[in-house]
A and B are shown apart, each in its own frame.
Chain A
Amino acid sequence: AQSVAQPEDQVNVAEGNPLTVKCTYSVSGNPYLFWYVQYPNRGLQFLLKYITGDNLVKGSYGFEAEFNKSQTSFHLKKPSALVSDSALYFCAGGAGGFKTIFGAGTRLFVKA
């Protein structure tokens, strides 16, 4: 069965420090991988995706993610966190069909 795991319920980081939000996946074939962000009382917003090509994917708001096939990981990163980055982050994946599997979400707190 396909699955996406986010091992951390919460990540705390100081403003200006680098942040990493972890994601591992189990998807058959070549995976399509995504990161979404959810702000309070809002729907999910797309941040970035990996379909094929370069393992380092750049997305919105200065975020990037690194695809690692051997470790089946797709960690979200940002070199310098902002307080406004505080939100709920979801990793998602699929095999290219209509069904996308979402992780449980990781809450990011950035402290000023």
Chain B
Amino acid sequence: NAGVTQTPKFQVLKTGQSMTLQCAQDMNHNSMYWYRQDPGMGLRLIYYSASEGTTDKGEVPNGYNVSRLNKREFSLRLESAAPSQTSVYFCASSEPQLAKNIQYFGAGTRLSVL
């Protein structure tokens, strides 16, 4: 069982470069999420998709865009990377109606912006 798969695992960017983080889940979940994890700050929600075809801003959406490509895939794009976006990014999925929003996480993408 793959669960939630994120690619790439590591990435180094220069300021101003763009990139897309990919996420796919094979649990047939309706909802998907992108978080960033910074030391001492826990996880902060960037964007989420309650269901296929919908996306909404979370706590820290500035500088990011998302696409819910289909039910399985939810990508996060940095159009012009900044050093403040150096972080570990986690994708998660859940099935709110069945499991009261227990979330299943990918292994993360470690991003450094120089």
A57 at the interface (CB under 8 A from B): no
Interface residues of B, CB < 8 Å — how many? 26
Which label, helix, strand, loop or mixed, suits the secondary structure of the A interface? loop
A56 at the interface (CB under 8 A from B): no
Do the beta carbons of B42 and A34 come within 8 Å of each other?
no
Do the beta carbons of A100 and B103 come within 8 Å of each other?
yes
User: In the complex, A43 Cα to B90 Cα: how many Å?
Assistant: 7
With contacts A99-B58, A104-B40 taken as known, whether A46 is within 8 angstroms of B100 at the C-beta atoms is no
With contacts A44-B90, A98-B31, A103-B42 taken as known, whether A49 is within 8 angstroms of B106 at the C-beta atoms is no
CB distance from B42 to the nearest CB of A (A): 4
Type the 1/0 row for A90-102, where 1 means its CB is closer than 8 Å to any CB of B.
Answer: 1000101111101
CB distance from A3 to the nearest CB of B (A): 11
Do the beta carbons of A90 and B42 come within 8 Å of each other?
yes
User: In the complex, A46 Cα to B43 Cα: how many Å?
Assistant: 14
Checking A44, A49, A104 against B41 with a beta-carbon cut-off of 8 angstroms, the contacting residue is A104
CB distance from A100 to the nearest CB of B (A): 6
Identify the A interface with B (CB < 8 A): 9, 32, 34, 36, 41-46, 49, 51, 90, 94, 96-100, 102-105
CB pairs A–B below 8 angstroms (28 shown): A9-B40, A32-B100, A32-B101, A36-B105, A41-B107, A42-B107, A42-B108, A43-B92, A43-B105, A43-B107, A43-B108, A44-B43, A44-B92, A44-B105, A45-B105, A46-B104, A49-B100, A49-B102, A97-B101, A98-B33, A98-B48, A98-B50, A98-B96, A98-B101, A99-B58, A100-B103, A102-B42, A104-B42
